[in-house]
Amino acid sequence: MIKYILHGGYVKIKNENNKKYFKETMKSNKKKLIVLLVYLARKEEKWKELEKIDKKNLSNAKSKGQSIKFVVASKETEKLRRQIETADILFIRGGRDAPLFRAFRKIKNLKLLLQGKTVSGTSAGAYLLSKYCYNMDYNHIDKGLGLLPIKTYCHYKPSRKPKLEMLKKYKEKLKTIVLADTEFVVLKR
């Protein structure tokens, strides 16, 4: 089984939703956790700053007695594959879909590698896991990896309802997950 957590975006906002999101991401019976921080949707010069913020938020959310080893995901395919293999939790930050999607599409047998893990994706990270998603940056529908047979719309606001309806009607009929900023949902498969 894989535990997927899809987040609507803006983990940087300090609120109760995000606090619960980090707690859910870190929920594990294991005492020693390896957390893979995936920033492939962001420019590399931002990675150190994101790492500092995420280490703090995720460390604050761990259970008493847990220890965490943080690893930043590599852009190199084989190294990334090995990192995924050894990680307990994948924390996939949002940003630009295209570089993130490209990197993960190169990983063979990804679903098999993810068995028994928590995969937590925010915005583009949630889109990566879905079959289809609405890309606001380019105003079109993208195809994710399809690890979850769903359509996902992040950063939702009522003013974006026409775009949501477009996504719902796109290709086959699938459950559509709609997430406003800082909202999240947990799916187990």
pTM value is 0.96
66-91: per-residue pLDDT in tens? 999 999 999 999 999 999 999 999 99
Question: Could you write out the three-class secondary structure of the chain?
Answer: CCEEEEECCCCCCCCHHHHHHHHHHHCCCCCEEEEEEECCCCCHHHHHHHHHHHHHHHHHHCCCCCEEEEEECCCCHHHHHHHHHHCCEEEECCCCHHHHHHHHHCCCCHHHHHCCCEEEEECHHHHHHEEEEEECCCCEEEECCCCEEEEEECCCCHHHHHHHHHHHHCCCCCEEEECCCCCEEEEEC
Percent of the chain at pLDDT above 90? 96
pLDDT of residue 116 exceeding 90 = yes
- pLDDT value of position 35: 98
117-153: per-residue pLDDT in tens? 999 999 999 999 999 999 988 889 999 999 999 999 9
- CATH topology classification for 3-188: Rossmann fold (3.40.50)
- pLDDT value of position 138: 80
- pLDDT value of position 26: 97
- pLDDT value of position 139: 85
- pLDDT value of position 145: 97
